Amino acid sequence: MSGLRECAWCGAYLGEAPDLPAGHVTHGICEGCHGRMMAELKRPGWTGHIQERRADRARVRLLLGLLVLASVVIGAAVLASVLVPH
């Protein structure tokens, strides 16, 4: 008796795992899940996600930049109103 190997995605039985003691299960990937996975990786949407996230980060940086700029302008205005005698 030896352990079993099954697909980590769908749980399909992939055969025995002679290196494992009985009752133990190790995982692999079956042909069907491997095919689906490869198709998923080749889809343009896969890198689209990453580009979207990059665009999000660029938007956040822009907002932070505007926030810093706004606080500098407000700070200068406050400073000017304090320094300039009325």
Would you give the DSSP letter of residue 26?
Answer: E
Task: Give Cβ neighbours of residue 35 (< 8 Å, ≥ 6 apart).
Answer: none
CB 28 within 8 A of CB 7: yes
Nearer to Zn ion, 35 or 75 (CB): 35
CB of 21 to Zn ion, least distance (A): 24
* Interface pick for Zn ion out of 4, 7, 14, 20 (rule CB under 5 A): 7
CB 4 within 8 A of CB 26: yes
Query: Count residues contacting Zn ion (CB under 5 A)?
Result: 6
User: What is the rounded distance in angstroms from the CA atom of residue 19 to the CA atom of residue 1?
Assistant: 10
Q: Which of residues 23-62 bind Zn ion (CB under 5 A)?
A: 30, 33
* Interface pick for Zn ion out of 4, 9, 20, 28 (rule CB under 5 A): 9
* Beta-strand relationship, 25-28 and 3-7: parallel
* Interface pick for Zn ion out of 2, 3, 4, 12 (rule CB under 5 A): 12
Chain residues binding Zn ion by CB under 5 A are 7, 9-10, 12, 30, 33
